[in-house]
Amino acid sequence: DAGVIQSPRHEVTEMGQEVTLRCKPISGHDYLFWYRQTMMRGLELLIYFNNNVPIDDSGMPEDRFSAKMPNASFSTLKIQPSEPRDSAVYFCASSLGTGGAGYTFGSGTRLTVV
Amino acid sequence: RKEVEQDPGPFNVPEGATVAFNCTYSNSASQSFFWYRQDCRKEPKLLMSVYSSGNEDGRFTAQLNRASQYISLLIRDSKLSDSATYLCVVNQAGTALIFGKGTTLSVSS
């Protein structure tokens, strides 16, 4: 398996633009997680899905953020409109169950909003 | 108060040194505990799980004190390749992992 695949690897956008981050989880994994990492706040959970259904979105910062998982092999995280404070590395991870030994992270998307 | 707290470091040690990292967690309902390793500009990867009885994996020893809500990681005979950020991670049943901000280790020759 190729692991968790995220795209794009890097994204630079202007404030106010829409940004879409993509994730393909490992086949067979039933959980998918979106995390955001900054120097100030570390790695924060944004939202996670179980069998394509959102379970906990309490970490989503505000209405500008939305996430979807239309099928077991694809998820998106959208920011509209983007702001400079959204600049961070966004990681997607997948696992079989919520046990922490089985999380596989993607390489992340480094987002810069100018 | 953050759920998982770690000393950010950096810890700067010479090769061959022994170094210990500590972590505290605030939620007594936490059930699973881990150390993840993150190299610069890379994704986090599982280093080891932490069990109540303590566990060892080569040069790495992890310990858990549930009463004090405290987790530790000991690295013996440090190598240059151990330079990374070490993330303390906790988990409650059926929920997502909660990460500490990490402790940075730099091993020099």
Judge whether B55 is closer than 8 Å to chain A, CB to CB. no
**Distance, in angstroms, between B81 CA and closest chain A CA?**
20
Pairing state between β B55-57 and A31-38 = unpaired
- What count of other Cβ atoms lies within 10 Å of the Cβ of residue A91? 24
Burial of A21 (0-12, 13-18, 19+ CB in 10 A): buried
Q: 3-state class of B35 per DSSP?
A: strand
Check CB contact under 8 Å for A45 and B97: yes
Closest CA to A33 of A90, A83, A71, A113: A90
Chosen for mutation from B7, B32, B34, B43 (greatest number of chain A CBs closer than 10 Å) is B43
What is the rounded distance in angstroms from the CA atom of residue A80 to the CA atom of residue A62? 10
Own/partner long-range contacts of B59-65 (Cβ < 8 Å, ≥24 apart)? B60/B35, B62/B33, B62/B35, B64/B33
Residues on chain A touching B32 (C-beta within 8 angstroms): 99-101
pLDDT digits (tens, 9 = 90+) for B30-83: 999 999 999 999 999 999 999 988 899 999 999 999 999 999 999 999 999 999
Check CB contact under 8 Å for A43 and B42: no
Please say whether the beta carbons of B3 and B27 come within 8 A: yes
What is the strand order of the sheet A74-79 is part of?
A5-7, A19-24, A74-79, A65-71
Q: Considering only alpha carbons, which residue of chain B is nearest residue A5?
A: B43
pLDDT in tens, chain A (114 residues): 689 999 999 999 999 999 999 999 999 999 999 999 999 999 999 999 999 999 999 999 889 999 999 999 999 999 999 999 999 999 999 999 877 778 999 999 999 999
